[in-house]
Amino acid sequence: MKSFPRAILAVLVLFLTSCEGAAPLAESFPEKIGGMTRTEFLTGQEALKRINMLHGKDIEAEDGAVAVYRDGQQSSVVFVTRSASPEIAKAQTEAMLKGMFENPKGHFSDPVAAEMDGLRVVRFKGLLQAHFIFQVDDASWWLSTDPASSGEMLSFFIGQAKKR
């Protein structure tokens, strides 16, 4: 009879841990993607400090991640912020895109919006890289990558974003 309450407890623990919500952002960034190796990785407040520094202001976010991947000559950087709600994430993503569209003298040019795997993805060129911005649920994603590896990296991170 003693094993029965333990079994119920085990099922309850599994159920509660599966109901915690989205997976932690850290799980979206493996050490290797194709031929690229993760060389830098920040999460939580450290990542948000880096993201805020890039924007020159504080971004309203609950969590964040920054990952840098390299393969010797090429590099990719992924920035993610997780907001309190999908509505906040959408508003932040749209505000960022609007600012980029309206700043013709900025670092980014040639915007193209497309649908990929059911998501709206906006691509910009700039700083010798391709930049992809998209939003899934409560998370805003920005991928900066070498154009030669952009297809593989974008497909991978859209898949990761949709898993969360």
Q: Which amino acid is at 152?
A: E
- Which residues, other chains included, contact 107 with Cβ-Cβ below 8 Å and sequence gap of 6+? 126, 127
Q: pLDDT by residue (tens digit) across 82-106? A: 999 999 999 999 999 999 888 877 8
Q: What angle do CA 54, 106, 55 make, to 5 degrees?
A: 15
pLDDT tens for each residue of 14-44: 333 333 445 578 899 999 998 999 999 999 9
CATH architecture, domain defined by 22-163: 3-Layer(aba) Sandwich (3.40)
What gap in Å lies between CA 93 and CA 68, rounded to an integer? 21
pTM: 0.83
Alpha helical stretches, state H, the chain:
3-18, 44-55, 86-101, 150-163
25, 80 in Cβ contact below 8 A?
yes
